[in-house]
Amino acid sequence: MKKIGFIGLGIMGKPMARNLLRAGYELTAYDVRPEPLREIVEAGARPGSSPADVAAAAEVIITMLPNSPEVKEVVLGKGGVMEGAKPGAVVVDMSSIAPLASQEISARLAEKGVTMLDAPVSGGEPKAIEGTLAIMVGGPEPAFAAVKDILATMGASVTRVGEIGSGNVTKLANQIIVALNIAAVGEAMVLAAKAGVDPEKVFEAIRKGLAGSAVLEAKMPLVLARNFKPGFRIELHIKDLMNALDTAHSLGVPLPLSAQVLEFLQALRTGGHAREDHGGLVQFYESLAGVEVRRG
């Protein structure tokens, strides 16, 4: 059984690492913060002293970090994964970053005989805990085949979509759809609330029809309960939409709806909601209409 390194024990990374331990994998973990590292060590992992130390102990190194700069620093920087990784190792970056950044990092790792896959995920903290994430993978087929069983301990679906960078292109498409869906739910439910119709009953009436969606099912109960505890933070969805727009602009693809929703999220960040769940986008519409969507 392969030895695994895991770097980045945040909202998503910590439960993902726990699922690898439950599956019986030998895990070496690292995080810049001592508390989540201590928790994972107590669950059975070996503590790494640096990304390089984690890489030296592993055949497969998984990173789960906030954005492109952090991944570049952890993988390519001083004391980074590239320093410790052995030729033949596979780096699986499960962060959501810019596709061009994945390609750049992959090219550098290849100089040392290390293969990289970009494998971002969708599903938020609940599915990370359950081990039922959707994992979209870009990179060489042989490396994908070598790690697919490992990824399957963290996800209900594991799909290779193409070469390096294509996993993150797929994730950007996912994040566009999720953002626009959350915006549609917020807009519609604020209309219902302002019209004096119980939003909870509207939810029950439409959830099994064409308007039903995974987003509606996941977010509407939390909105009704006014629970904006982060499963996926607004500030991270801003990052993803900015990456989507940068990528689209480099390809000459307009994303007018994504740009509009990005501005709504930016307004919420300015208003102090950056670390709340992205389902809290409803609050933007509520502030315009002067009404709250909540359980009656």
Q: Active-site residues: which are they?
A: 171
Cβ-Cβ contacts under 8 Å for 45 (sequence gap 6 or more): 6, 17, 21, 27, 28, 29
Sign of CA dihedral 102, 118, 181, 269: negative
Q: Which residues pair with 159 in a beta bridge?
A: 136
Count CB neighbours of 251 within 10 A: 8
Cβ-Cβ contacts under 8 Å for 78 (sequence gap 6 or more): none
Beta strands in the chain (DSSP E): 3-7, 26-30, 46-47, 60-63, 90-93, 115-118, 121-122, 133-138, 155-162
Cβ-Cβ contacts under 8 Å for 196 (sequence gap 6 or more): none
Are 13 and 6 within 8 A, CB to CB?
Answer: yes
Count CB neighbours of 225 within 10 A: 11
